[in-house]
Amino acid sequence: MDEHNFRQEVRTITADLQRLAAVGQTHAREVAVRMFSRMDATTHPLEFGIACRRGCSYCCHYHVYVTATEAFALAELVGKLEPSGKSQVKKQLEENFRAVSSMTVDQHIHTNVRCAFLSNAGECMAYEVRPSACRSHHATDVNSCKVTFEDTRSPLQNAMKADLKMTSTIFVLAQEMAHIEAGFDDKRYELTAAVREARANPASFKRYKAGKRAFPSVRDVTEPNARDSEKGRD
């Protein structure tokens, strides 16, 4: 992506975020789908050679941080799931919240916690709006994923495709800049607590619209030591 296309992407996301604030939280999923569809269209041609396959879910037990916009989209998606899936996600969100809220950042990084959106068949129930952290993550060798899943203290890093990683990172940066330019919360929050709060507390979206921190009680990646969560099992 060249500079012109990058700036265009920032402008497009900014406009989407402004419309979201105008029409309400129930359109977060729609905005996320549009945003991610552009990201996917650019990154898909670069995916040749990656080991990721449907049903492979080692990385679906890692810590994930999301933007407030992504949390609202995931929260909206829960209400759209079929009854059995909705029940499973809600139950897992509560179990994960109880587990993660008592952990330090380091403990969370090195503990396998099953994603609330991972189905019993090992597939992502939120695939269309899976957050940018999930979309950016990949590996060229599934063995590295298996090793770090089985040994959460392993120093092994996943081998990634440089062009895919760089392009994904550029889209994530465009999303961050768009949030700043639109005047909305640009922090990244721990997924479980953020989605849970987005579902339970309408005031979260009001704070978001006002340019305030959407989830003040939820750990964000800018907090002391929290940025370490972007390292380790990458």
Alpha-carbon gap, residue 119 to 203, rounded angstroms = 30
pLDDT band at 73 (very low <50, low <70, confident <90, very high): very high
Alpha-carbon gap, residue 103 to 109, rounded angstroms = 9
Q: What is the dihedral of CA 112, 33, 165, 100, to 10 degrees?
A: -20
* Segment 168-206, tens digit of pLDDT: 999 999 999 999 999 999 999 999 999 999 999 999 999
Which pTM value belongs to this model? 0.91
Share of the chain above pLDDT 90, in %: 84
Alpha-carbon gap, residue 145 to 129, rounded angstroms = 23
